[in-house]
Amino acid sequence: MKKIVECVPNFSEGRNQATIDAIAAAIRDTPGCRLLDVDAGKSTNRTVYTFVGDPETVIEGALAAARVARELIDMRRHHGEHPRFGALDVCPFIPVTGVTMEECVTIAERFAERAATELQVPFYLYEAAARQDYRRALPDLRQGEYEGLPERLRDPRWRPDYGPAEFDPRWGITATGARMFLIAYNVNILGTANQAHRIALNLREAGRGEGQPGRLAKVKGMGWFVDEYHLAQVTVNLTDYRVTPIHVLFEEVKKEAALLGVGVTGSEVVGIVPLEALLLAANYYIEQEGLFVYEEEQKIRLAVERLGLNAVAPFKPRERIIEYIVAEPPEEPLASLSVRSFIEEIAARSSAPGGGSTSAAMAAMGVGLGAMVAKLTYGVRRFDAVQDQMKRAIPVLHDLTGRLIPMIDADTSAFNDYMDGLRLPKNTDEERRIRQAALEEGLKTAIRVPLTTMRLGDAAWEMLIEVARFGNPASRSDVQVGARALETGIWGAYQNVVINMEGIKDEEYRRQTLAEAGVLLQRAQHKCQEVLAIVDTRR
Domain borders along the chain are 4-178, 183-326, 339-537
The answer to whether 216 touches 244, Cβ cutoff 8 Å, is yes
Q: Which phi and psi (to 5°) does residue 294 adopt?
A: -125, -20
> How far apart (Å, rounded) are the C-alpha atoms in residues 322 and 316?
12
Please tell me the pTM assigned to this model: 0.78
Which one, of 30, 34, 99, lies nearest residue 272 by Cα? 34
Q: Which amino acid is at 437?
A: A
Identify the burial level of 79 via C-beta atoms within 10 angstroms of its C-beta, where 0-12 means exposed, 13-18 middle and 19 or more buried. Answer: exposed
- Dmax over Cα atoms in the chain, in whole Å? 89
Strand 88-97 to 174-178 pairing = parallel
Instruction: Calculate the CA 508 to chain-centre distance.
Output: 38
Phi/psi at 326 (5° precision) = -90, -5
What is the model's pLDDT at position 22? 97
Cα distance between residue 339 and residue 345, in whole Å:
10
Residue 106 has a CB neighbour count (10 Å cut-off) of 14
pLDDT of residue 503: 80
> Which pLDDT belongs to residue 433?
76
Measured between alpha carbons, how far is residue 444 from residues 313, 389, 451, 509 in Å? Answer: 51, 38, 10, 9
Catalytic residue chosen out of the listed positions 37, 89, 409, 411: 411
CA distances from 121 to 14, 117, 162, 357 (A): 21, 8, 8, 59
Q: Which of 82, 197, 247, 398 is catalytic?
A: 82
**Cα dihedral 303/305/308/309 (nearest 10):** 60
Q: Is residue 82 among the annotated active site residues?
A: yes
C-alpha–C-alpha distance, residues 445 and 491, integer Å: 18
Which residue(s) pair with 47 in the sheet?
11, 40
Hey, what CATH topology would domain 183-326 get? Alpha-Beta Plaits (3.30.70)
Radius of gyration of the chain (CA): 29
Domains 183-326 and 339-537 share a fold: no
Interior angle at CA 471, CA 492 and CA 294, nearest 5: 80
Return the SS3 of 268. Answer: strand
pLDDT at 423: 77
CA–CA distance, 483 with 49 (Å, rounded to integer)? 52
Whether the Cβ atoms of residue 121 and residue 173 lie closer than 8 Å to each other: yes
Give the DSSP H or E segment for 26: helix 17-28
Please state, in angstroms and rounded to a whole number, the distance separating the CA atoms of residues 376 and 61: 51
Residues in the chain: 539
- Residue 538: its H or E element: none
Beta-strand relationship, 46-53 and 34-41: antiparallel
Output phi, psi for 486, to 5 deg: -65, -45
Annotate 69-81 with DSSP letters as a single string: HHHH--GGG---S
Q: Are strands 123-127 and 174-178 parallel, antiparallel or unpaired?
A: parallel
Q: Provide the residue-wise pLDDT of the chain in tens; the chain has 539 residues.
A: 588 999 999 999 999 999 999 999 999 999 999 999 899 989 889 999 999 999 999 999 999 999 999 999 999 999 988 899 999 999 999 998 889 999 999 999 999 999 999 999 999 999 999 999 999 999 999 999 999 999 999 999 999 999 999 999 999 999 999 998 889 999 999 999 999 999 999 999 999 988 899 999 999 999 999 998 999 999 999 999 999 999 999 999 999 999 999 999 999 998 889 999 999 999 999 999 999 999 999 999 999 999 999 999 999 999 899 888 888 777 889 999 999 999 999 999 887 788 999 999 999 999 999 999 999 999 999 999 999 999 999 999 999 999 999 999 987 777 666 677 677 788 787 777 777 777 777 788 889 999 999 999 999 999 999 999 999 999 999 999 999 999 999 999 999 999 989 888 888 999 999 999 999 999 999 999 999 999 999 87
Q: Are 86 and 43 in contact (CB under 8 A)?
A: no
What backbone phi and psi angles, to 5 degrees, belong to 439? -65, -45
Closest CA to 457 of 405, 513, 531, 532: 405
SS3 string of 341-395? HHHHHHHCCCCCCCHHHHHHHHHHHHHHHHHHHHHHHCCCHHHHHHHHHHHHHHH
Q: Which of 190, 191, 237, 248 is nearest to 215 (CA)?
A: 248
pLDDT of residue 1: 54
Q: Measured between alpha carbons, how far is 354 from 39 in angstroms, rounded to an integer?
A: 50
Say which CATH architecture domain 339-537 belongs to.
Up-down Bundle (1.20)
Count of beta carbons in the 10 Å neighbourhood of residue 383: 17
Q: Return the SS3 of 274.
A: coil
Cis, peptide link before residue 353, omega less than 30° from 0: yes
Whether the bond between 150 and the residue before it is cis, its omega within 30 degrees of 0, is: no
CA dist., res. 49 & res. 113, Å (int): 21
Q: How far is CA 401 from the centre of its chain?
A: 21
4-178 homologous superfamily: Formiminotransferase, N-terminal subdomain (3.30.990.10)
